[in-house]
Amino acid sequence: MAINPEQTITDVTDLYGDPSRFLISDLCSIIEDYMNEDQVREVYNAYLFGAQAHDGQYRKTGEPYIYHPISVARILAEMHMDSKSISAAILHDVIEDTEISKETILEKFGEDVAELVDGVSKLTEFKFKNKKEQQAINIQKVLMAMARDIRVIMIKLADRLHNMRTLGVMRPDKRRRIARETLDIYVPIARRLGINTLRIELEDLGFKAMYPMRYRILDQTVSHSGGHRKEIIKKINTALTTRLDEIGIEASVKARKKHPYSLYKKMRSKNLAYKNIFDVYGMRVIVDSVDDCYRVLGVVHNLFKPIPGKFKDYIAIPKENGYQSLHTVLFGPHAIPLEIQIRTVEMDKFAETGIAAHWLYKESSDGETVDVQARTREWLTGLLEMQQNAGDSVEFLENVKVDLFPDELYVYTPDGDIIKLPRDATPVDFAYAVHTDVGNTCVACKLDHRFAPLNSALYSGQTIEIVTSAVSRPNPTWLDFVVTIKARTNIRNYLKNLRQDEAIAQGRRLLSRSLARKDVTIEDLSSAALHPVLEEYGFNTLNQLLEDIGLGNRPANLVLKRLYPEDEEEKVEISSDDKARPLAIQGTEGMVVSYAKCCHPIPGDHIVGMLSKGRGLVIHQDGCKNIVNERSQIDRLVDVKWSEDLAGDYSCMIHMHVNNERGVLARLATIISDEGANIEHVEVEDRDGTSTIIAFLVAVRGRVHLARIMRRARRLKPVMRIWRAH
């Protein structure tokens, strides 16, 4: 149904009949408790507009489509979100599923509502390679919109919650896919923002959709087996309430129960049967002040013995999402462990609503809302940085998944400042958490005043000192052990830029070598000659073309032919010129020149280069079978030679056929070490019980160095034969 933007709807019954069918009266009754009359009218007008926009559309449940946005709006209204959020929730599918444009919403409801609706809308006008890319790009769009306005993710979470509530009408495979996406992405975001009421329901609905049988059995087991434990909770409740009354602390004491997904995760992670999980039920004590929290802690530790190592003070050191509470685990009656959480009224409100508390309790004067907002802004800033440095949307989404919320540990700087890090973090993660420049230049670390490797796993309470050097730079091997997204992103970004610089330099060498046949340099190329070539390849600058050549994506010979198309007939002459001007390989070219693992070329070997897409120039021995197979692709081959000014060590594989004698491997390793070579890898293959073939991957300086090692090894009596693998 086409909508006239100028039309004003005054009576929704013109569309569907009785408006109460759409629960608008229930929604209005909720928002009237905390909104003024003008704001309620704004929400109602959004409802009228949304109802007309979705006229004739139905959900798979058979209900009119408007049921869904109204339900999403009610979820947000129960969190006391503002009128703009509620209006945007009602209109959140209008751009995506109807002919209404963002401009129309902007005109009728203002910029805030239009931006919120646009932020939640999926990208439908693009064609995606696969479902994974589509998911990644759409989620990236939502997260980037969230970085501008946190209300976007609130609407998206409410939208996902109602979709999960009505997921039963979907095909089983689609139910599982949506549930997996919910558990992998939306649940961690809700946890990161501290919205626990919404997170818990999303977890249970996702669990139910993914594993319906497991959910049903676990839910029934909890329902049927709670009698004995409930009696224990009742006894503790009575004892604790009585004691708190005696010392004059006003407190609300209530029992809480683990929800099914939380139980399931614990059973899976710790390989426990349900009967061996004792914290299915727990208790929560809510008091008026922080002082009372610690007084109650003393009371419960006097009544029941605490379990050592199970006390956590999230009041002094809040969680990343702003959560605050005291947690302690006690030996209850019959030696059954029982967790007790102690918090203030405000902490309890924040624990349930998280970032939504900015709207729900914005009149609070204790500053906790400000703290939650500051933490959230810090995370959102990290998201923006992550997005800028990610290679594509899929990489960005994977980074987000890594960043969303592992367990935490707390370590100290030498000045006593507390740094919060995820579990399994390393000193490199710590260095980047202090400052990006500290991470980029770190060379060593001290853990509790003792030197330790940079890949050491940290634990809470350690004092960490980072040693830096102005000339040091990130090491690619750090990516094997860092866990924080800030460290990973900065290292990748540095290596990406480094690789880009090296690729440009390598491309300049290759193109200069080809241009030399025409007695032309790159600087001699005119804009008139370059522009058509750059336009044909889709580049804006010469550096982009040079980078493409350096990465092996575009042979320099082909670029030369595009620059001088009239000289196509000189192909044979050019080919012979190639051999007259081999490219000098120095061994220090970085990431865009690598050495083939099939033949392990070393200085002194006759070599040839092969351009490999994305990898740059790969150096092979001239007789390598992989090069022989590629001889037909002359444009990919580059004639190269070793430079006279070489540096570094080069890997080489040597095989030794030896008699089985005690200590022969150690003696061979000693010879290699004495000759100044490093053993990178060893493989031992038993032949016939009396002899063995030992393969050493050694780092040598060249053929002369290798020959010296092989000559000494041959002198050993157990060595029957020695040869180099090609």
- The model's pLDDT over 115-135, given as tens digits with 9 standing for 90+, comes to 888 877 753 333 434 555 555
For 154, residues 6+ apart whose C-beta sits below 8 A from its C-beta are 76, 79, 81, 85, 355, 356
Asked if residue 36 has pLDDT above 80, the reply is: yes
**For residue 374, what pLDDT band results from cuts at 50, 70 and 90?**
low
Domain with CATH 3.30.460.10 in the chain: 220-366
Please report, rounded to a whole number, the percentage of residues in the chain having pLDDT higher than 90: 20
The vertex-476 CA angle with 473 and 479, nearest 5°, equals 115
Distance (Å, whole) CA 326 – CA 297: 8
**For residue 618, what pLDDT band results from cuts at 50, 70 and 90?**
confident
Q: How many CB atoms lie within 10 A of CB 270?
A: 9
β-pair type (691-700, 337-344): unpaired
Q: Which class for 544: exposed (0-12), middle (13-18), buried (19 or more C-beta within 10 A)?
A: middle
Distance (Å, whole) CA 282 – CA 340: 6
Least confident of 252-266, 497-511, 593-607: 497-511
Within 638-697, where are the H helices? 664-674
Least confident of 50-64, 76-90, 546-560, 646-660: 546-560
For 194, residues 6+ apart whose C-beta sits below 8 A from its C-beta are 319, 321, 322, 323, 350, 351, 353, 354, 355, 372
Q: Is there a contact between 494 and 500 (Cβ–Cβ < 8 Å)? A: no
Distance of CA 309 to the CA centre of its chain: 31
Q: Is there a contact between 722 and 654 (Cβ–Cβ < 8 Å)? A: yes
Distance (Å, whole) CA 612 – CA 614: 6
For 446-455, what is each residue's pLDDT tens digit? 988 888 889 8
Asked if residue 183 has pLDDT above 50, the reply is: yes
For 711, residues 6+ apart whose C-beta sits below 8 A from its C-beta are none
Distance (Å, whole) CA 403 – CA 367: 27
pLDDT at 355: 64
Q: What is 220-366's CATH number?
A: 3.30.460.10
pLDDT at 145: 55
The vertex-506 CA angle with 702 and 583, nearest 5°, equals 50
pLDDT at 370: 46
Phi, psi of 651 (to 5 degrees): -75, 140
Q: Is there a contact between 493 and 474 (Cβ–Cβ < 8 Å)? A: no
Phi, psi of 489 (to 5 degrees): -65, -45
- Residue 187's nearest CA partner among 219, 214, 212, 210 is 210
For 649-664, what is each residue's pLDDT tens digit? 888 999 999 998 888 8
Distance (Å, whole) CA 395 – CA 401: 10
pLDDT at 147: 59
Maximum Cα–Cα distance across the chain: 103
**For residue 311, what pLDDT band results from cuts at 50, 70 and 90?**
confident
Instruction: Give me the active site residues, please.
Output: 96-97
Average pLDDT on 86-113 reads: 90
Which CATH architecture best describes the domain 13-219?
Orthogonal Bundle (1.10)
Q: Which helix (H) or strand (E) holds 27?
A: helix 24-31
For 650, the token pair is 């080069």
Asked if residue 384 has pLDDT above 90, the reply is: no
Distance (Å, whole) CA 647 – CA 481: 28
- Residue 342's nearest CA partner among 230, 231, 241, 251 is 251
Domain with CATH 3.30.70.260 in the chain: 650-724
- Residue 194's nearest CA partner among 76, 323, 318, 75 is 323
For 375, the token pair is 């933490």
DSSP result, 320-378: TT----EEEEEE-GGG-EEEEEEEEHHHHHHHHHGGGHHHHTTT--SSHHHHHHHHHHH
The average confidence (pLDDT) of the chain is 79
Under CATH, to which class is 650-724 assigned?
Answer: alpha beta
Phi, psi of 617 (to 5 degrees): -100, 120
- pTM value is 0.54
Which CATH architecture best describes the domain 407-472?
Roll (3.10)
For 535-588, what is each residue's pLDDT tens digit? 888 888 888 888 888 877 788 878 888 887 765 544 434 444 444 467 778 776
**For residue 400, what pLDDT band results from cuts at 50, 70 and 90?**
low
For 262, the token pair is 């939380």
Length, in residues, of the chain:
726
Angle, helices 556-563/485-515, rounded to nearest 10 degrees: 50
Tell me which residue has tokens 């800033």.
381
pLDDT at 380: 57
The DSSP symbol for 119 reads H
Write the CA distances from 5 to 49, 101, 106, 169, integer angstroms. 10, 10, 11, 34
Average pLDDT on 515-544 reads: 82
**Would you report the helix, strand and coil content of the chain in percent, each value rounded to 5?**
55, 15, 30
Amino acid at 301: H
Of the chain, the end-to-end C-alpha distance in Å amounts to: 72
Distance (Å, whole) CA 594 – CA 651: 11
Domain with CATH 1.10.3210.10 in the chain: 13-219
Q: Is there a contact between 287 and 293 (Cβ–Cβ < 8 Å)? A: yes
pLDDT at 361: 42
